Amino acid sequence: MSAPQSTDPAAASAAAAVHRALLERGATCATAESLTGGLIGAHLTSVPGASNTYRGGVVTYATDTKAALLGVPSDLLAARGAVHPDVAARMAAGVRGLLNADYGVAVTGVAGPDPQDGRPVGTVFAAVSTPGETDTIREFRFTGDRAGIRYLTVEGALELLEATVRAGAADPV
């Protein structure tokens, strides 16, 4: 009997590309996930040799865990809600510092079935925190069912991470 496929092919390809970019740079990454519940980390660790580039991840599904574990300011969460670009940026910086990684990538959003924090289903913010402590933030508006939105989030976050790593390749880590 063969094992079922546990990763999305497009996300698996994106994870392999992230791994290659980080290897070329001699860098590491860490993940902070909300709506994806660990899927980004699962895809990154599906790549052979991932232990050379992936430090680990934190799933902060509940809003209060974003503050408690990643240092997202409680007043920001109270004022803006968990689905906000500044929250994604703070999550990325928090996990980068917590796990001593060169890059931190974070996602927060609404997979559905209901809106959250005044944001419609499919709204996702992904952020990457870099060694220079700069943030790259991207907003996505995905359509589809809950599972589809979660997998599109994985792909989008990994593509953002790879692009950010490659863009910083000229800078020393």
pLDDT score of 7:
67
What does the pLDDT average to over 10-23? 94
User: What tokens appear for 127 in the block?
Assistant: 């952020």
Amino acid at 83: V
CB 137: neighbour CB atoms within 10 A?
16
Are 156 and 126 contacting, i.e. CB atoms less than 8 angstroms apart? yes
Give the model's pLDDT for residue 172. Answer: 44
Question: Would you say residue 171 has pLDDT above 70?
Answer: no
Residue 4 has pLDDT above 60, yes or no: no
pLDDT for 3 equals: 45
Chain CA centroid to CA 77, Å: 18
Say what the pLDDT of residue 169 is: 56
Report the b/e string of 87-103 with b at 16+ CB within 10 A: bbbbbbbbbbebbebbb
Query: pLDDT averaged over the chain?
Result: 93
Q: What is the CATH architecture assignment of 9-167? A: Alpha-Beta Complex (3.90)
Rounded distance between C-alpha atoms, residue 106 and residue 125, angstroms: 8
- pLDDT tens for 43-102 read 999 999 999 999 999 999 999 999 999 999 999 999 999 999 999 999 999 999 999 999
Evaluate if pTM is beyond 0.75. Answer: yes
